[in-house]
Every structure is written in structure tokens, then in C-alpha cells.
Amino acid sequence: MSAPTTMRVFIPLTIRKRNGRPKIVPPADMVPDTGGVDPHMLKAIAKGWSWRRKLESGEEATIQDIAEAEGISDRYVGRMLRLGYLAPTVLDKLLVGRMSPTVSVKDMAAAAELPWAEQEATVFGDF
């Protein structure tokens, strides 16, 4: 008898819905712990802050300059740039408290235009 020529590998993946779309979620021990906050949301907030700093420091003069440098549309830059102006309490809960928001990145960008007092209830749901 010869040894089997095939090998079976089992990887425990989970399928969850994120923003209405199915997403494959790897086991918790294979990815860094974001505490329930979507890593894409954290990246979007980081981009918003980075682009805000570039504009404020004068490194880039306009949103169009950032868009051309990144190879993306100026509308996307404008929407993500709003995340750089989220209320400190919202950022504290997202980044330090690792609370998961109840809205998508697009809705969070829209919520950034609200007064700071209203942002927390919009992003995390009414308390």
C-alpha cells in the first residue's frame, strides 16, 4: 500500500455580514485584535487624519493634490477627510475603548459633519 496522495487542511473561517456584504472572517488568533472595530474603519480614520495634517501643514495645497498623489478621486478624499474631524469622544471610544460603531464608514463620514454633541449618539446608536 502506498501513502495517500492528498492532504486535507481545515481552516476554521466564519462568514459574517459587514455593511450588507458577506465577509470571510479568519480565526481570532490569526489576525491582530481590533476589539470589534473593523480594521477598514480604523484605516479610513487614519487616512482622514493623515490627509488633514497634510493640508494643515501645507504639504499638500488642495484635496485635488492629495487625490492625484494617491491615485484616487477627489470626492473620496473629501469624504474620508471628514473622518479627521470626528468628535474626541467618538475617537476615544473607537480607538481606545475599541467599541464597534453601528454605522458604516460612509455614514460615519456624514456624521462627522454633525455637532460634536450629536456625533456619539449617531455613530454608536442612541443610549
What mean pLDDT comes out for the span 74-101?
90
Which position has the higher pLDDT, 85 or 14? 85
- Domains of the chain by residue range: 37-124
Output DSSP code: residue 3.
P
Whether the pTM exceeds 0.75: the reply is no
pLDDT one-digit tens code per residue, 28-86 = 666 555 566 778 888 999 999 999 999 999 999 999 999 999 999 999 999 999 999 99
For the beta carbon of residue 84, count every other beta carbon within 10 angstroms: 20
Which position has the higher pLDDT, 84 or 16? 84
Q: Are 108 and 41 in contact (CB under 8 A)?
A: yes
Q: Which amino acid is at 98?
A: R
- pLDDT for 127 beyond 60: no
Residue 123: burial class (beta carbons within 10 Å; 0-12, 13-18, 19+) = buried
Q: According to the model, what pLDDT value does residue 29 have?
A: 65
Residues 6+ apart with CB under 8 A from 127: 121
CA distance 105 to 6: 43
